[in-house]
Each structure stands twice: as structure tokens, then as C-alpha cells.
A and B are shown apart, each in its own frame.
Chain A
Amino acid sequence: GAGVSQSPSNKVTEKGKDVELRCDPISGHTALYWYRQSLGQGLEFLIYFQGNSAPDKSGLPSDRFSAERTGGSVSTLTIQRTQQEDSAVYLCASSLEGRGANYGYTFGSGTRLTVV
């Protein structure tokens, strides 16, 4: 696609429910990143994919968070048993890697998650 697409754009869920956030990267972009931005805070790294594998999961806040990527394309971030502190904007980015260079990162518009 022309840009990074994230869905849903907004999600309100009850505490304790599971949620799935989807990211559709730019076609051909092998690297995919998930970040979280809480109100008034900076961007917090969650996880990075190269193809379908995740060499860096160091940012996932707890074992309630998981992510997968299939076909080197779409990624899903799953939060189980949501808590109020999970409320944030979840941003996805993708980048094109090639010939030893990275060509910069393109971000989606994010999913605003509100846990009530």
C-alpha cells in the first residue's frame, strides 16, 4: 500500500478483555516496529520484526503483550487481560532495508487504545 495502515484507529475496551491491534506495512518493507506513546510521554519501543522473526522483544512491558507477523507483511499486537495503564496510542512503523542501508521509517496513524 501507499502507507502504513493501522486498525482500528480507536479502540475502547473493558479492563480484563483481550485486544488485537493490526499493522499493515508498506509493501516490500521487511522491517516492522511497534511503539507505544502514553499521554504526555515519549515513544516507547515495544518490539521489532525483520521478516517474520522478532530479534528484539526487549520492550514488551509484560507477558500480557505479544506480537506476531505473518508472510513478512501484516503484524498483530495482542494485549491480554488489558489494564488501565495499557491505555495509550500504539504506533507501527516499517522500513526498507537493502544494500546495507536503511531508508528511514514510515509510521502509521496509530491505534488509540482506551481501557475503561
Chain B
Amino acid sequence: KQEVTQIPAALSVPEGENLVLNCSFTDSAIYNLQWFRQDPGKGLTSLLLIQSSQREQTSGRLNASLDKSSGRSTLYIAASQPGDSATYLCAVSWRRDDKIIFGKGTRLHILP
């Protein structure tokens, strides 16, 4: 069964710290992996998309890495800010024409 797991479920860190969010998936033959953020009561905002042939993607203070062989992806947030507080979701697709399966997310709280 294809599953996506995110650890930790919740995280609180002081402003300014660098942090890492983890995502693991069963079945390493993925098609792509996407990180989203969700603010309370809002929809999902796409952060980074990593194709199966890629090892990492960067956007501003965010860097996402992909290690298919170990079934893992990490989202690195540099110099965290209170505005980064949100739920971060990892989503994996195993085929081009297929649904994406989400992890349950990591609730991040940046302390001012």
C-alpha cells in the first residue's frame, strides 16, 4: 500500500532558526513529490515540486530534497519567520495519470 508519513506532527521553534521537516513514503518508484503549505481555514499553496529525476529544488528560503532510494524527502526552511507558521503537507504521486497521496502534515509554529 502506498503511504506518505510526515514527522513530526507538530513543531515549535524560535524565530530565526533553521529547521527541517521530514516526509517518508513507501514504494520508491515515485513520479513526483510536492510540498504545500496550508494556513488555517485556507486552501493549499504549492511550495516546491520535485520530479523523480531531480534531487532537490530551491525557492527563496526553502529547499526540498528527494532521496528516492530511501523513500524520503526533507523540506529545509532557513531563517524561520513568524509568517512561516502553517501546516506543511507532503504529497506524492506514483504515476503521471494518478491521484496524489498526502501525508497528514506538520503543524509548524514559529515563536516571535
Give the B-binding residues of A (Cβ under 8 A): 31, 33, 35, 41-43, 45, 48, 50, 55-56, 59, 91, 93, 97, 100-110
CB within 8 Å for A102 and B46 given contacts A42-B104, A42-B105, A45-B101: no
User: B42 an interface residue at 8 Å Cβ cutoff?
Assistant: yes
A102 and B36 contact, CB distance less than 8 A: no
Dominant SS among interface residues on chain B: strand
Sample 17 A-B pairs with CB under 8 A, ordered by A number.
A33-B100, A42-B102, A42-B103, A42-B104, A43-B102, A48-B98, A55-B97, A56-B98, A97-B96, A97-B97, A102-B32, A102-B96, A104-B32, A105-B100, A107-B45, A108-B43, A109-B42
13 further A-B contacts with Cβ under 8 Å, apart from A42-B103, A43-B91, A105-B91, are A33-B99, A45-B100, A50-B97, A56-B98, A91-B43, A102-B93, A102-B96, A104-B32, A104-B34, A107-B46, A109-B42, A109-B43, A110-B42
Instruction: Give the most central of A33, A42, A48, A110: most B CB within 10 Å.
Output: A42
Q: Which residue of B lies closest to A56 (CB)?
A: B99
How many residues of B are counted as interface, with CB atoms below 8 angstroms from the partner's CB atoms? 24
Q: Which residue of A lies closest to B99 (CB)?
A: A45
* Assembly CA distance A107 to B102 (angstroms): 13
B94 to A: closest C-beta gap in Å: 11
CB within 8 Å for A43 and B89 given contacts A104-B49, A109-B42: yes
